Amino acid sequence: MKRRALLAGLATLGVAPPLRAAGSGRIEIEGNRFAWNGAPLRLKGIAMGDPVYIRYGRSLDDYRVVAEYWAANCVRISVHPGHWRYDATLMGQLLDADIAAARAQGLFVIVDWHAIGFPGRYEPVPPPEWGLIADAYLSSIDDAKAFWRGMAERHGGDPAVIFELWNEPVGDDQHWVSDGAWWSEFKPAWAAITAEIRAISDNIVLASGGRWAHDLTGAAADPLDDPRTAYAWHVYPNEDRHEPDRWFRSLGALAVHKPIVVTEWGFCPDCDGGLQGGIDDFAIPFTRDVLDVLGLSHTAWCYSPGAAPALLSPDGSPSDYGQFVRDYLRRLA
């Protein structure tokens, strides 16, 4: 669908198109909400993956498609630390191209340092069959500082670009309880990285908690001091699957006080393990009872036919999961 036709269709339904990052402005934090040029801002969109691995061979026209056809107003673009170390110049050029394509569509952009684990704690190596370099997810704090200093120099003048400091902090890969463990180590690391950005830019930053970015209880009890910090949260079907308060126990009271962006969420009906879930047992209750009740911003993972949970089928059309997300974003519009 062309943009004009989509907007006309939305107008016919009596709903407004999603707020986009057009013209000048700045994202403000007002309590537990974002605002853009004085209007309430809820980020609603798609996690696109990284330019080298997940998006290999894909067209930059994807950003037009998710803006026009999926009614997104935000995308999340990742970069693996190992790829950055291998060739920072090339990665910078590829990342710049994706960011420019997204911004040309009026999309807000979350840039994600796609680190997993934490130095000296948990340092995962991807399975060889994934085709990733062995150190793809590994980052020192100095690596992250250097990357974000460069991002602040390149994109810190665009207030519609948000910096997600660290993808999924993990202190122990066997620790599946939301109790704030290791927040006392994560917090000073995020503060040090943020200080590198603040020397150049006041763009919004997103900080993550432990348990693969699912545990925000430590941040709820002891938030970061930076006033332009919001928080990233990742939610998949397996976390506390059979507990009645399964999602709220991992937030603490943070959603009352600070903006939260669910930078990864999704489900996979045909997968085994942690991603296995469906529309009735995960997607509807999570979107209805958590995202919409709390008014959380969110980007669904992942705009790819291969990276699970996959929003696209092998032929490029929306998967069943993708169709749910696309319909949900259109309803929100």
Token pair for 205? 């930053």
Distance CA 18, CA 331 (A): 10
Strand order across the beta sheet in which 27-30 lies: 27-30, 33-36, 39-41
Question: What are the residue ranges in the chain where pLDDT is below 70?
Answer: 1-18, 22-23
pLDDT of residue 17: 53
Token pair for 202? 């006041």
pLDDT of residue 22: 64
pLDDT of residue 303: 98
Residue 252 Cα to chain centre, angstroms = 20
The one-character DSSP state at 312 is B
pLDDT of residue 20: 75
Token pair for 111? 């840039």
The one-letter code for the residue type at 145 is K
> Tell me: the pLDDT tens digits for 92-148?
999 999 999 999 999 999 999 999 999 999 999 999 999 999 999 999 999 999 999
Find out whether 175 and 131 touch, Cβ atoms under 8 Å.
no
Instruction: Find, among 284, 244, 227, the residue nearest to 31 by Cα.
Output: 227
How many CB atoms lie under 10 A from the CB of residue 199? Answer: 11
Helix (H, G, I), strand (E, B), or coil: what is residue 116? strand
CA-CA distances (angstroms) from residue 144 to 25, 36, 99, 149? 27, 28, 19, 8
Supply the CATH classification number for the domain 3-332: 3.20.20.80
- Is there a cis peptide before residue 271, judged by omega within 30 degrees of 0? no
pLDDT of residue 314: 96
> Tell me: the pLDDT tens digits for 46-57?
999 999 999 999
The one-letter code for the residue type at 330 is R
Distance CA 95, CA 173 (A): 30
Helix (H, G, I), strand (E, B), or coil: what is residue 205? strand
CA torsion sign, 216 to 42 to 194 to 301? positive
CA torsion sign, 75 to 186 to 202 to 41? positive
Distance CA 105, CA 72 (A): 10
pLDDT of residue 3: 37
pLDDT of residue 255: 96
Packing angle of the helix pair 88-104, 141-155 (nearest 10 deg): 50
Residues 6+ apart with CB under 8 A from 230: 29, 34, 204, 205, 206, 207, 258, 259, 260, 261
